[in-house]
Structure 1
């Protein structure tokens, strides 16, 4: 989109869109540009534009700054928590920045050492993971599954869909988290996405030994109008990294990881072979260095 081109906002689309439309109305009524409104805050005009268009939640400190400049008597600070909750959709609080970022990403590079990445998961696989800690009700699991399925739309054909490169470990193919037929379905789903040119998958084989990024899930996101971001997570927390020096180290490690992984062509062969073994009930056995049928 060309700089300065106005985008009309449909306030009925969502709570964040309604909030953003009101923010734009108050800003323009005050005769201020985006740059003038964020002056004196820690945020840029592009960030504020994303909030006005309903694509980002507003941080409380920015909401207070906006109220002070626009003299709106605390309106935007009082409502910012409601906007944040409206964006949750079955995802934890710490994941909200990722949800907002991935919708704008030009490219997403993901590495998962033990599991199939969330965007590639089938419903039975999702349910098995969400049920695993034994603390969630069936209703909560349904909400989480719906939220993850909604995210999966990100890699469906659409204008400006991100390029997605995914590196998995061979362990994730061999770990039987759901019954054998459903494991076969899961692997064949990844193959289908690859053949539709929605993703480029690679697998790090058991025999690769020590390699970069062994200790955590890693997601790198690249944007056309903003610096890249890295996201890493554990079972109950997630961290978004935007320090350019640290991001550069993650990018180099990801490139080295892809170098030790199988080629995309060989990866599809391995996925197909493993799915066929599951269909036949010939479950693969894995050791520290090798896997056998």
Structure 2
């Protein structure tokens, strides 16, 4: 007989998800193998999720809801599970990011998490999280769902040119990542600017930071170090960083010129000619 691990549903969102999957599967009189056939996975995977040894994906959760007739139950739960996978110190920011109406960020080394391809995210997260890589990548990809909402936040990203040249994951991963940035030109509420090397000293030399704005709540400033994040609504900090961000935007290339630079780096450094792309007009 299989060794069934007892779960405490209150221990974590992942444990609760696993216990719910087992409960509802058994209520449907389905063995793990039978459910696996329906949702196109192995019985082993079903068992790993039920015992909280595997983090479920959103696609897996949607297939469970369809198979078990659970009216979006697992699709709702998986958001909590994936949020819990994020580092504890990062979770408060992720919650605020998901509620923001306007996001302004300066990134000095990497592409902003909301704009990363899955392969790029896997390369970045694999440096520190090789043992939990699938879960970390799934959590990062899930953060990006806010950009696909009916009313997404306004997102303005200023990237240091170094982020385009830093070869993350190899040439193919980088060329696809830059192609993804170019494709975002079509998004009405999203702009990407590049701060070129020849800008010299600038207002972001202390490191990456993000500003969040809300309809009815105070603005927030967020920055992070190696293993901690700092979020504040201090009016003086907000004022200073808002001015600093405005200066970065002024010194950066225009969105059109930024796209031209991204395309040039993509072709010259990574050997891939970008597909023609243009912003849709009404």
Q: Does TM-score exceed 0.5, indicating one fold?
A: yes
Q: Superposition pairs for residues 1-293 of structure 1, below 5 Å?
A: 88-133=83-128, 136-137=130-131, 140-156=132-148, 158-280=149-271
- 1:5 maps to none
What is the alpha-carbon distance in structure 1 between the residues aligned to residue 122 and residue 91 of structure 2? 21
TM-score (normalizing by structure 2): 0.65
Count of matched residue pairs:
197
- Is the CA contact 1:166–1:200 (under 8 Å) kept in the aligned structure 2? yes
Q: CA deviation at 1:89?
A: 3.2
What is the alpha-carbon distance in structure 2 between the residues aligned to residue 89 and residue 268 of structure 1? 35
What is the alpha-carbon distance in structure 1 between the residues aligned to residue 270 and residue 169 of structure 2? 13
Q: CA deviation at 1:86?
A: 5.1
TM-score (normalizing by structure 1): 0.63
Q: Which runs of 4+ in 1 moved over 3 A?
A: 85-89
Q: CA deviation at 1:194?
A: 2.1
Q: CA deviation at 1:201?
A: 0.4
Q: Cα deviation per residue 1:11-54 (whole Å; 9 max; x = unaligned)?
A: xxx97xx9xxxxxxxxxxxxxxxxxxxxxxxxxxxxxxxxxxxx
C-alpha RMSD of the superposition: 2.2
Q: CA deviation at 1:123?
A: 1.4
